Every structure is written in structure tokens, then in C-alpha cells.
């Protein structure tokens, strides 16, 4: 263990080093200039500090104050050497973070005893810190395992939903990436963008509860059928809403709100403007762009520039204008994502 000794008197340092030799497992580094000691402290590990009060600037009190400001040095035990009459200095040293004191002239027996106590304290704190770090790593590992299992469950759930609709699996992959990029351009945190990446693909999960005669109908839906189809938003919310997972809670919100329109003409509740959850507004932009620019068994893909022009036209009506601005900022990355996750041939479901 390393003991840092700071005293402007070489003779005192010689005495301290000699006394420390009988303390097993220790080594010392000594400085007569307190500024040099502080500079050395910034780059080296220290277990205990022994510092004299009466030194040229920085003096012992100033040394303690600066030492405590060095990253990683907040809990290193410090012993200050003062005169018995310096009670005010001792009080101030305690306030600044001194752990113990030695009185001049230093008694060698007391010196060794107090050093052993401080070294034991330092070792205990290190063991506690190491244990805390181990616990933190175990928690992080367990959390990562839970997150991985949660994502696998979500992906399998999406695969199941995919077989009930006539869209390809790449659609929901692109949706997640598009939404994350729009969120990033809008200024959301990386955590929020990661949530969008994972939650947005669940936007149509409610279609698993939509009757086949409606979901798979080849022609146009009549008004009654359309009202049933629109209920996939509420059904998706009901499927996901009661989860303890923050991710599934976000997905529930998206499932419910991704067909709302900025001017209030959407469904299921006709929400308007900022009353529509932000994640739902982002999903709406991603969903429409991918739907317009993707080929399906019932339609051809629109050229990207035509799709963008159409979305610009309905900005402020269907879409949040600020999110259309973010969409334009993210467009180069979105185009690259669209190319990376291209569709396979559209799948025609049995009727």
C-alpha cells in the first residue's frame, strides 16, 4: 500500500520513512513541495496521505482541499500533522476531510499505530468499493439478460403478427429504424430512440385480433368493416397496456395513437396536435412513408420523391410539421435504411 508523505522538512520525512519500514506491506512516496505532491497525486493511486500543516503554499489545509477535488481521491484517508495548540486548524481540517491527526513532535509508536489504522480503513474501503463494483456489474449483466429475453419475445410476437397481415417482416424492421432516426433528428435521447426502435414495430399488433374476413379481404372494406378494422389500435393497446415493461408500455401507447392525425381527423379518438403522444406522431410519419414507398400485392411502390412531396402536402394535417422537418433531416439515413432492409417478394395470403 502507498503512503504519500508531504512535509517541507527533509529530516521529518526521513523519520517518517524510517518508522514506516516496520509497517508490513507498505511503501512511501515523499515530497517537500506540496504542489509537486498534488501533481503526482493526479496520476497515481494512494492509500493514505500524511501531510504537515505548516508549509509554504499550498499549506496543509489548502493541500487537503485541492487533494479532495482530484477525481478518485475523495475517500483516501488523510492524517494531518499539527501542533497541539492548533485546535482551530484541526477543526478546519476535519471539515475539509482529514481523518486523523498527529501532534508535533511526532511519537514514533503513535505514528505507526495511527498509520496502521488508516491503512486498514483504506483497505476496507477498497474492498467495499470492489464489492459495489461487482454488484453493479452483476446487476448490469442480469439487466442485459432480461432485456435480451424481452427483445426476443417481442421479435417472436412480431413474427406471429406478421403471418396475419399481408406486409413483409422488413416493414416492421424499417419502421423501427425510421422512427429511431426521426427521433434522433428531433433531439430525443439515445434511450428514447432505442425505445422507438424496439416499440414501433409493435404498432399493428392489434391486427392479430381483427377477423380474417376483414383483415384478409381482397377488396375495399365497407363502412362497417372499416370501423372494425380501425379497432386494431384499441386492441393493440389492450394487449400491451398492463405490462410492467417500459418498452411494452411505450408500444401500447404507439399502437393506440399511430393512426391519429395532427388536425384531429384520425382515429380512434380524434386527438389533435400535442395531445397525440410524441411516439405515436413519430410512428405515423414512419408508417406512411414506408407504406407509400413499398410494393404490396395490391399496389406498386411510389417513387421516394413523390412520397415525400405528398407527405409535405399533408404536413400540419396528417403529420406534426416539426416531425416532418426532423424526417427531412434524417432522410439520407432513412433512404440508406430502406435500401439495407429491402422487401422480399410480397407474400400473398391464402383466402
- Beta strands across the sheet bearing 27-31: 27-31, 2-6, 48-52, 78-82, 100-103
End-to-end Cα distance, the chain: 78
Are 196 and 178 in contact, with CB atoms under 8 Å apart? no
For residue 167, is it within any domain?
A: yes
Q: How far apart are CA 200 and CA 283, in angstroms?
A: 6
For residue 349, is it within any domain?
A: no
- Domain shared by 128 and 169, yes or no: no
Cβ atoms < 10 Å from Cβ of 209: 15
Predicted confidence at residue 328, as pLDDT, reads: 97
- Domain shared by 170 and 290, yes or no: yes
For residue 177, is it within any domain?
A: yes
- Domain shared by 127 and 169, yes or no: no
Q: What is the CATH number of the domain that holds 90?
A: 3.40.50.2300
Are 262 and 276 in contact, with CB atoms under 8 Å apart? yes
Residues 6+ apart with CB under 8 A from 36: none
Q: Among candidates 41, 47, 51, which has minimal Cα distance to 75?
A: 47
Looking at the structure of the chain, the number of domains it has is: 2
Q: Which residue segment(s) compose the domain that 177 sits in?
A: 163-340
Q: What is the CATH number of the domain that holds 290?
A: 1.10.3210.10
Are 114 and 79 in contact, with CB atoms under 8 Å apart? yes
Q: DSSP readout, 92-144?
A: HHHHHT--EEEESSPPHHHHHHHHHHHHHHHHHHHHHHHHHHHHHHHHHHHHH
- Domain shared by 229 and 125, yes or no: no
Q: How far apart are CA 277 and CA 110, in angstroms?
A: 68
Query: What 3-state class would DSSP assign to 299?
Result: strand
Predicted confidence at residue 178, as pLDDT, reads: 97
Q: How far apart are CA 297 and CA 20, in angstroms?
A: 85
pLDDT tens for the 351 residues of the chain, in order = 888 999 988 888 988 888 888 787 888 899 999 999 999 999 998 989 999 988 988 999 999 999 999 998 888 999 998 876 778 888 888 888 888 888 888 888 888 888 888 888 888 888 887 887 788 888 878 877 877 777 777 767 766 666 665 555 688 889 999 999 999 999 999 999 999 999 998 999 898 888 888 888 878 899 999 999 999 999 999 988 988 888 889 999 999 999 999 999 999 999 999 999 999 999 999 999 999 998 876 678 899 999 999 999 999 999 999 999 999 999 999 999 999 988 765 444 333
- Domain shared by 124 and 185, yes or no: no
- Domain shared by 77 and 10, yes or no: yes
Q: How far apart are CA 209 and CA 196, in angstroms?
A: 23
Q: How far apart are CA 214 and CA 225, in angstroms?
A: 6
Q: How far apart are CA 1 and CA 111, in angstroms?
A: 16
Q: Which of residues 113, 134, 155 is at a domain's end?
A: 134
- Domain shared by 295 and 203, yes or no: yes
Amino acid at each position: 500500500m502507498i503512503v504519500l508523505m508531504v512535509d517541507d522538512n527533509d529530516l521529518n520525512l526521513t523519520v517518517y520513512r524510517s518508522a514506516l519500514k516496520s509497517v508490513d506491506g507498505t511503501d512511501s512516496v515523499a515530497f517537500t513541495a506540496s504542489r509537486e505532491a498534488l501533481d503526482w497525486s493526479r496520476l497515481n493511486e494512494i492509500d493514505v496521505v500524511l501531510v504537515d500543516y505548516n508549509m509554504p503554499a499550498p499549506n496543509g489545509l489548502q493541500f487537503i482541499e485541492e487533494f479532495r477535488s482530484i477525481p478518485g481521491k475523495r475517500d483516501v484517508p488523510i492524517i494531518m500533522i499539527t501542533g497541539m495548540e492548533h485546535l482551530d486548524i484541526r477543526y478546519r481540517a476535519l471539515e475539509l476531510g482529514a481523518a486523523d491527526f498527529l501532534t508535533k513532535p511526532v511519537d514514533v509508536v503513535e505514528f505507526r499505530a495511527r498509520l496502521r489504522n488508516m491503512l486498514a480503513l483504506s483497505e476496507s474501503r477498497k474492498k467495499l468499493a470492489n464489492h459495489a463494483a461487482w454488484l453493479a456489474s452483476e446487476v448490469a449483466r442480469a439487466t442485459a439478460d432480461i432485456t435480451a429475453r424481452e427483445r426476443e419475445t417481442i421479435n417472436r410476437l412480431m413474427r406471429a403478427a406478421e403471418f396475419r397481415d399481408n406486409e413483409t417482416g422488413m416493414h416492421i424492421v424499417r419502421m423501427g429504424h425510421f422512427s429511431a432516426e426521426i427521433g434522433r433528428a428531433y433531439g430525443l435521447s439515445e434511450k428514447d430512440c432505442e425505445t422507438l426502435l424496439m416499440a414501433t414495430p409493435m404498432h399493428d399488433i392489434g391486427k392479430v385480433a381483427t377477423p380474417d374476413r376483414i383483415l384478409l379481404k381482397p377488396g375495399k372494406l365497407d363502412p362497417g368493416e372499416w370501423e372494425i378494422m380501425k379497432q386494431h389500435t384499441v386492441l393493440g393497446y389492450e394487449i400491451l397496456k398492463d405490462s410492467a415493461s417500459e418498452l411494452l408500455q411505450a408500444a401500447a401507447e404507439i399502437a393506440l395513437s399511430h393512426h391519429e392525425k395532427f388536425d384531429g381527423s384520425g382515429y380512434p379518438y380524434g386527438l389533435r396536435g400535442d395531445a397525440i403522444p410524441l411516439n405515436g406522431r413519430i410512428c405515423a410519419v414512419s408508417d406512411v412513408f414506408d407504406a407509400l414507398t413499398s410494393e404490396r400485392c395490391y399496389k406498386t411502390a411510389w417513387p421516394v420523391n413523390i412520397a415525400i412531396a405528398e407527405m409535405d402536402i399533408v404536413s400540419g394535417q396528417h403529420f406534426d410539421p416539426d416531425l416532418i422537418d426532423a424526417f427531412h433531416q434524417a432522410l439520407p439515413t432513412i433512404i440508406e435504411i430502406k435500401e439495407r432492409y429491402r422487401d422480399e417478394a410480397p407474400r400473398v395470403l391464402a383466402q
